[in-house]
A = this chain, B = another copy of it.
Amino acid sequence: MNNDVNASQPRTGERPARTGVWFVGARGSVATTAVTGCAAVTARLHAPTGMVTETQPFDGTGLPPLSTLVFGGHDTTHCPLPKRAEQLTEAGVLPHGLAPAVRAELRAADEAIRIGGPLPDDPRGDEELIADFAADLTSFRERHALARVVVVNVSSTEPLPAPDAVRLPASSLYAAAAVRAGCPYVNFTPSTGLRTPALTEAAAAAGLPHAGRDGKTGQTLLRAALAPMFVQRALHVRAWSGTNLLGGGDGAALADPGAAAAKNAGKERVLADTLGHTPQGEVHIDDVPVLGDWKTAWDHVAFEGFLGSRMILQTIWQGCDSALAAPLVLDLARLVARAHEAGLSGPLPELGFYFKDPDAGPSGLTEQFTALLSFADRLRNAS
């Protein structure tokens, strides 16, 4: 089974090196769930369901054990993490009784959160913001004597940047700070982050590995599993339409047409890449506040079979956004930390399994999983 707590324990008796995980959006639902869940799994209160790095193929790959992760991050809001965890419990995201059980770990992470930016009317320019953020990262690493810090963007989706924007998008300011502070970087959102030519080049020059973009947790995950079926069976997909309903922070952010456009660009890529053409059909993301973190995705696929026969596949996915994202975020932080330790740098296309809009690599889910397993072998054999 997939839930075995694997042997990701330190290999020696000495105190293991510790690894920092720095969330951009550290008070959001995904970060709160990740911090809570890491503590819960470490304390064996829950099996690591949903964490691919805790399954057997990752045994012996030298990933940092969950017990050695130290959390911090940036956010622009102030609600303390223990309070956020209570809110997520009320919202049905976290199980009742868990937040109190890991209160100490939530408090510790909360103390390591720094105010991000740019804030409204922030007087700082881009350079100053980058410098401030980088200083926060360096300070976190030194204070906790961390081997390294992985920066993970889990903040709300930004609108697509305007072509004539005078400043960098916030996600890119944080990414630039990561590079400056020598931190590997993961972008779990569709925002720009490191994906500008200058920043990508700077990360490579600094020998930093990075991965992105836009975590694949629902509709696109399903599409990556299903679209290859049509190709393999020589069936012709004529139209693929979809609607997503969700509330929570992401629902509200994506109600902004610009942010939705950013999200949908990634969503459509999986179909074009897999099918070899772009079928008809649109994708909607609706903000439905009462649904909170529970999202529903309906997909309708009109395809053609033998002798022009017209057939339909429909799927309905009902999942908890943060519970889907958090274990992947922990996976990615560990994988990219280990890649950094192993001396890898630049984009890691073998992590396309996790992303809607990956840096490169195959588009079908099983092929992406095979690439991930190869990556595990590579890590296992690295120093």
Contact = CB atoms under 8 A, between A and B. Distances in A.
Contacts of A236: 1-3, 49
Copies of this chain, how many? 4
Nearest to A226: B225
A241 B2 contact: no
A205 interface: no
Contact of A2 (B36, B234, B369): B234
Give chain A's interface secondary structure class: mixed
A25 interface: no
A305 B284 contact: no
A277 B3 CA distance: 13
A33 interface: yes
A93 B37 CA distance: 24
A302 B307 contact: no
A119 interface: no
Contact of A282 (B232, B286, B298, B300): B286
Nearest to A235: B50
Nearest to A1: B276
B239 A307 contact: no
A369 B232 CA distance: 7
A307 B95 contact: yes
B234 A229 contact: no
Given A314-B315, A320-B309, A281 B288 contact: yes
Interface in A50-85: 50-52, 54-55
Contacts of A291: 239, 302
A318 interface: yes
A19 to B, nearest CB: 20
A40 B231 CA distance: 22
Interface string A297-325: 01010101111110111111111100110
A124 interface: no
22 contacts: A1-B236, A2-B276, A49-B234, A49-B236, A50-B234, A50-B306, A52-B234, A93-B309, A96-B96, A221-B233, A225-B226, A225-B229, A232-B353, A241-B245, A281-B288, A282-B284, A291-B302, A309-B319, A311-B318, A311-B319, A311-B320, A366-B366
A-B pairs, top 6 by smallest CB distance, nearest first, are: A366-B366, A309-B323, A2-B234, A50-B306, A225-B229, A311-B319
Given A243-B298, A306-B324, A311-B323, 16 more contacts: A3-B234, A50-B306, A93-B309, A94-B307, A222-B226, A225-B228, A232-B369, A241-B243, A245-B281, A245-B300, A280-B290, A305-B319, A311-B317, A312-B319, A313-B318, A315-B316
